[in-house]
Amino acid sequence: MIEARDLTRRFGDLVAVNRLNLQVPRGQVYGFLGPNGSGKSTTIRLLCGLLLPSEGSARVLGHEVPAEAELLKRKIGYMTQRFSLYGDMRVIENLRFIARIYGLSGSRLRTRIDQVMQQFRLEPLERQFARELSGGQRQRLALAAATLHQPELLLLDEPTSAVDPQTRRDFWDALFALVEDGTTILVSTHYMDEAERCHRLAILDQGVLVADGAPVELMASIDCRVVTVESERPRQVQQLLSADSRILSITQLGSRQRVLVSRAVTEPVERVESALTGAGINADCREVEPSLEDVFVVVTRHSAAGRGEG
């Protein structure tokens, strides 16, 4: 479906995408996870031929990219990170325009537009100008436009940023409906709950693929163990534990703290407990199952530290 081989893109000295190797199988939702500027958008643009790779190449739906990008264009739907339909045109005008651009006409054009309007609940918004839509309505319109021509592959760049949880859930239901009809979807996101719903995931960091696999696999093979610490003095706990080089990350969640301890430590709970009691802090420590967010924190921690210092 999608195969990237050593895909690399530089902007001046900056390597936005660095020797990326990727396999996206057919009929799945494939997620792209990564901090800001990690190269998600750039990768998507490389895959649809909008940017030329500095090195490497990709094969998408059987077409070499960038050489055969034009052949690819009618088979893919692309939803840009930034809303890119026309604000001064009505919902229905935007859809008609995109449909005609993709060569739909006559009764087929009408039925497809009716279908997507129903599917993405756009009927009540038909006559509204796109600039007047709310964030979630805009995203629905953009997805409707991207799927009008029933593409085999959908590339969605952060389709649910600035969308409320309920709308996000609806949006993902719509994605799974498309997958059931045989569409392959590549989607970038910053939301862990969304990432968890993907069949497979790739985590990018500074242009490098740092982890990929099914969410459960990633959680199972995580390079750390997770201890939660419940205490009255979380600030002090933070200070104490961050001195330990075996402790990879500490995240506060209310009065609880989530502590990621290196796998090299055989008994993580004891290690945390002894460090705290040594300083006279009473805390309730217990080991829990790692989450996808823990995976994300661990695999991207080097660049996060780099950013913190820089």
Ligand X SMILES: Nc1ncnc2c1ncn2[C@@H]1O[C@H](COP(=O)(O)OP(=O)(O)OP(=O)(O)O)[C@@H](O)[C@H]1O
Residues lying near another protein in the complex (CB under 8 A) are found at 45, 48-52, 69-70, 73-74, 76, 78, 80, 82-89, 93, 97-98, 100-103, 105
For residue 38, the partner it binds in Mg ion, ligand X, another protein, none, with Cβ less than 5 to 8 A by kind, is: ligand X
User: What whole-number distance in Å separates Cα of residue 117 and Cα of residue 247?
Assistant: 51
Token couple for 193: 């709950």
CA of 19: how far to CAs of 1, 10, 43, 46, in Å?
19, 11, 11, 12
**Stretches 29-37, 93-101, 232-240, 292-300: which one binds ligand X (CB under 6 A)?**
29-37
For residue 242, the partner it binds in Mg ion, ligand X, another protein, none, with Cβ less than 5 to 8 A by kind, is: none
Neighbours of 112 (CB within 10 A): 19
Residue from the set 22, 29, 39, 215 that interacts with ligand X by CB under 6 A: 39
Binding track over 5-44 against Mg ion, x by CB under 5 A: -----------------------------------xx---
For residue 73, the partner it binds in Mg ion, another protein, ligand X, none, with Cβ less than 5 to 8 A by kind, is: another protein
* Cα four-point dihedral sign 218, 220, 223, 225: positive
Distance of alpha carbon 308 from the chain centroid: 23
Q: Does 41 bind ligand X (CB under 6 A)?
A: yes
For residue 108, the partner it binds in Mg ion, ligand X, another protein, none, with Cβ less than 5 to 8 A by kind, is: none
Count of residues of this chain found to bind ligand X when the rule CB under 6 A is applied: 12
Q: Which residues pair with 286 in a beta bridge?
A: 228
For 23-49, give one letter per residue: b (16+ CB within 10 A) or e: ebeeebbbbbbbbebbbbbbbbbbbbb
User: What whole-number distance in Å separates Cα of residue 21 and Cα of residue 36?
Assistant: 20
Q: Tell me which residues in 50-89 interact with Mg ion (CB under 5 A).
A: 81
Nearer to Mg ion, 38 or 257 (CB): 38
Token couple for 189: 């996101």
Q: Tell me which residues in 3-22 interact with ligand X (CB under 6 A).
A: 11, 14, 16
Nearest to 175 by CA among 162, 190, 161, 159: 159
Residue from the set 42, 80, 139, 184 that interacts with ligand X by CB under 6 A: 42
Residue from the set 28, 54, 57, 81 that interacts with ligand X by CB under 6 A: 81
| Smallest separation, CB 142 to another protein (Å) | 9
Nearer to ligand X, 207 or 290 (CB): 207
Residue 40 exposure: Cα atoms within 13 Å on the Cβ side: 25
Q: Does 251 bind ligand X (CB under 6 A)?
A: no
